[in-house]
Each structure stands twice: as C-alpha cells, then as structure tokens.
Amino acid sequence: MDHPNVTAYRRTADAFRAGDREALAALIDEDVVWHIPGSGPMAGDIHGREALFDRLRDVTEGTFMIKEHDVLGTDDHVVALSNWSAVREGIPLSVDVVGVFHFRDGRQQERWNHASDMAALDRLLGGPM
C-alpha cells in the first residue's frame, strides 16, 4: 500500500496530465515554491501554483509531460523519479529528473528538482536550442 503522500503525488501528476486545475488547486498549495536548477529562463525559485503552470506552458508551448518511474514517500516528503519531456521548435526533448517534495496535510508545499543532464533541462525549459 502506498503512503498517503505518494497517493497525493500520483493524484497531482494525473491531474496535471489531465489539465484538471480544480484538482491541482486541492493538491498543491497556492503558495508552493518550486526550485528549478540551471541557467534557462525558468531557473530559480518559482512562487505560486499558477505562476508555475503558466510559465511551464509558455516555455514548452503546452507540450510539457511528466512520467513517473517510481515514487517514494514519508510523512513529510515524496521523492519522484521521473522523466520530463516537451517538444520545442519541433524537436522532442527529454530529461530524467529526481523531484523532492515537501508535503503537509496531503498538499505539495515545495519542490526541489535534480536533473540528470542540466543542459537538457535548460533546453527543455526554454533555454537556447
């Protein structure tokens, strides 16, 4: 049986893929902070659920996808091993990412991203091709 925070993360990922903003609002804190590494236009700290989704949609022209390989959880954290992909300028891009999430009361509060290839992450998130 999955930890409740793993279940919450999986519901969040499914809602993201479905474009279900109502479900996302219930699962991700409005003031969430995402820490994006690298030197691309999304690098740094992104504050707020809507700011994140809007920027992600803009830099990937709405093609961003996430697919989990495995998800682990405790009472405070979730670790997701996943693949991020998008199509930019007609070129398919992908990178493996380890996401470390802080959860409180079943809601995502903060996320740190660790990419297997920083140059690939920068290109995927709007950097030079």
- Quote the pTM value: 0.92
pLDDT band at 52 (very low <50, low <70, confident <90, very high): confident
pLDDT band at 54 (very low <50, low <70, confident <90, very high): confident
How confident is the model over 82-105, as pLDDT tens digits?
A: 999 999 999 999 999 999 999 999
Say which amino acid occupies 83.
Answer: N
Q: What mean pLDDT, rounded, does the chain reach?
A: 95
Residue pointed to by tokens 């809007």: 54
Instruction: Calculate the CA 87 to chain-centre distance.
Output: 16
Residue pointed to by tokens 């950097």: 127
Please choose, from the candidates 114, 49, 67, 11, the residue with its C-alpha nearest in 3D space to the C-alpha of residue 3. Answer: 11
Please choose, from the candidates 52, 113, 49, 121, the residue with its C-alpha nearest in 3D space to the C-alpha of residue 85. Answer: 121
What is the rounded distance in angstroms from the CA atom of residue 56 to the CA atom of residue 75? 28
What is the rounded distance in angstroms from the CA atom of residue 100 to the CA atom of residue 81? 9
pLDDT band at 113 (very low <50, low <70, confident <90, very high): very high
Q: Give, as one character, the DSSP assignment of residue 62.
A: T
- What would you measure as the largest C-alpha separation in the chain, in angstroms? 43
Partner residues linked to 82 by β-bridges: 68, 97
What is the rounded distance in angstroms from the CA atom of residue 7 to the CA atom of residue 14? 11
58: its two tokens: 């803009």
